[in-house]
Amino acid sequence: MDIATLRATHPDHWKLATAIRALAMDAVQAANSGHPGAPMGLADVATVLYRNHLKFDAKAPGWADRDRFVLSAGHASMLLYALLHLTGYEQATLEQVKSFRQWGSRMAGHPEYGHLEGVETTTGPLGQGISTAVGMAIAEKSMAARFGKKVVDHKIWVIAGDGCLMEGISQEAIGLAGKQELDNLIVLWDNNNITIDGRVTVSDITDQHKRFEASGWQVLACDGHDPADIDRALTEAKKAKRPVLVDCKTIIGFGAPTKSDSYSVHGSPLGDKELAATKEIYGWPYGPFEIPAEIKADWEAIGAKGATARAEWEERLNALSPAKKAEFERQMSRGVSKKLASAIRAFKKAQSEAAPKVATRKASEMVLAAVNPVIPETIGGSADLTGSNLTLTPGLGDFMPDNRKGRYIRYGIREHGMAAAMNGLYLHGGVRPYGGTFFCFTDYARGAMRLSALMGVPAVYVMTHDSIGLGEDGPTHQPVEHLAICRATPNTWTFRPADVIETAEAWELALSSEKTPSVLALSRQNLPTLRTKHSGANLTAKGAYVLEEAAGKRQAVIMATGSEVEIALKAREILQAQAIGTRVVSMPCMELFAAQDEAYRRKILPPGAVRVAVEAAVRQPWDRWLLGERGTEKKAGFVGMEGFGASAPADRLYQEFGITAEAVAEKVKSLL
């Protein structure tokens, strides 16, 4: 539909949509940075969505049963910011719009979770939004099964662009959504056929309709500038029995006289001349950031229309039994169950007495078997490696279309999609997600893992087969550099537990975390229980602690993690037999140790002694503890990997790469 027809046949809609376009153009122009074209093209679709279909209350941004709206095409951020301002979100002031993309603004260049109410997830990297939304849709189904549709019954709406659909993660996400028949998920495709390089057709020939249909979705289409046609498609989408793609055919930069339908309006301001000409075409005679009072009032009425539905929902929530209501509110507020600490304490006591020799991946399974029954909001899964990651425990049941109470997701071989879905599971509320794969495949999950850290989503990544100790699968599967990568990521706890006790403590911390994701790097090979004396204290919470003190004068400190702690203890025996007093420090989490005060770090790593670190990985993260913290180059050494691994049994690999107790002892003696 062209602008003249749209203005003539839908004048009220036109005014509402044009307010979005004007704010987007003005904000990008003022910032001299941004993407005006997509908001200009999507304004009609967004207006119909918010006016007629989206269940929300601008005065209650955290309403548990609101529809979730995810702008997967995050470069179109001014579309969302304009909507939040116009509908009356308290934090989305006009001053914030004016400070778009500037220091301290809530309205960052791309939508950032936690900066501004109404932003459900961070959507900068393309494809992450649509993939995160799949996790939100799963969470909604899970919560509805547990608490009933009277209190949990809403949709997940997504606006995705051509770039979102090109990114490989989107195929992982839509395949999972189709398999799960997520009829609460509706994706509105901004089909404008433009990317930064030009027409989509210069790089892609995909038939998106056939692609989504092949993945189990229903596909609809509409003219993205005809409000009646948009409304028809969205109304039909809400009735579907499976996830829906709505192909909204739009024109990027709609109305710009020389830049519409071209890449030139994608990522740059219009410029004063083009902006003025566009407003003239729109019939919008107002100055920068000026919205007529009656149009703002109409938008605020749209923002308030959900208040009645919210009040009715609150009545239904209050009708639940006190215990069920309290549990619902605890889970949605992400409060930690009081049962977690007692379950971990009991587990640790039993295991310190039994002293099993098990792989830490098996220890993780044992912990989960104790924890999952008492924390009903955990939802686990694996990227087709359940029998290797050991992430499934008795009684969980598979989450499937015919069993929404199931708490185990068969993600398939979709590491990146799994990680993004885990972000969505948590962001929706009511779920504590964990998911597993081989540690080396963090490479495939990396984009979403980074967003976990950026957003403060405490997802738990169960990463097994953590070193060359996995053996015969060889260097493609042996993650020598991945500990360094994870430890280099801000706001991430990387745990590499040495035994079943440290594994339990790591899980307690991971499931108690409020804003920090956890990576559990777990062994394939069996490891002995090293802490056989029960302690109620969580020593892993300190990040590092003295596992075995020196006998006699302390001359050396050996630091180690995971499977190499056992090697460090054996090296100590060799050294102590030669009257070389040696302390062994287990360091299951460098990040938590770095967070301790100076006095504690000095207590663990005092000056003077030789320091040697041993880990079946690259040295890079260890230099702070070897050379810093009162250490010196002359008295520091590392025993570990300098390159990639090889294919052979684990014991042979440790011998060939020189990661042995004897080698550690010799390294210490060479530095004395």
**Binding-site residues from annotation for substrate:** 35, 266, 361, 388, 465, 473, 477, 524
**DSSP strand pairing (545-548 vs 581-586):** antiparallel
Residue that is written with structure tokens 């003539």 in the block: 8
Radius of gyration, CA atoms only, the chain: 28
**DSSP strand pairing (581-586 vs 408-410):** unpaired
- 2 burial via Cβ count (<10 Å: 0-12, 13-18, 19+): exposed
CB 86 within 8 A of CB 73: no
CB 562 within 8 A of CB 467: yes
Categorise residue 44: left if φ over 0, alpha if ψ from -120 to 50, beta otherwise.
Answer: alpha
CB 657 within 8 A of CB 641: yes
Residue that is written with structure tokens 């300190």 in the block: 542
Tokens of 247: 């192909």
Residue 555 exposure: Cα atoms within 13 Å on the Cβ side: 17
DSSP 525-544: S-B-----S--SS-GGGGS-
Neighbouring-strand partners of residue 408: 380, 398
Distances (CA, A) of 567 to 196, 419, 614, 619, 644: 54, 33, 8, 17, 20
Helix (H) or strand (E) holding 222: strand 218-223
φ/ψ (deg, to 5) at 355: 50, 60
C-alpha triplet 424, 429, 432: angle, nearest 5°? 75
From the candidates 167, 415, 591, 615, give the one annotated as an active-site residue: 415
C-alpha triplet 391, 396, 398: angle, nearest 5°? 85
d(CA 322, CA 136): 26
Annotated binding site for Mg(2+): 162, 192, 194
Annotated binding site for thiamine diphosphate: 75, 124-126, 163, 192, 266, 441
φ/ψ (deg, to 5) at 612: -130, 130
d(CA 231, CA 45): 9
Annotated binding site: 35, 75, 124-126, 162-163, 192, 194, 266, 361, 388, 441, 465, 473, 477, 524
Residues ≥6 apart with Cβ < 8 Å to 11: none
d(CA 44, CA 228): 10
428: nearest Cα among 68, 57, 164? 68
Largest CA distance in the chain: 94
- 539 burial via Cβ count (<10 Å: 0-12, 13-18, 19+): middle
CB 297 within 8 A of CB 304: no
φ/ψ (deg, to 5) at 634: -70, -20
656 part of the active site: no
Tokens of 573: 């025996």
Residue that is written with structure tokens 């009609």 in the block: 44
d(CA 515, CA 518): 10
A 10 A CB-CB count for 168 gives 11
CB 424 within 8 A of CB 139: yes
Residues ≥6 apart with Cβ < 8 Å to 570: 661
Strand, coil or helix: what is 398? strand
Residues that are catalytic: 415
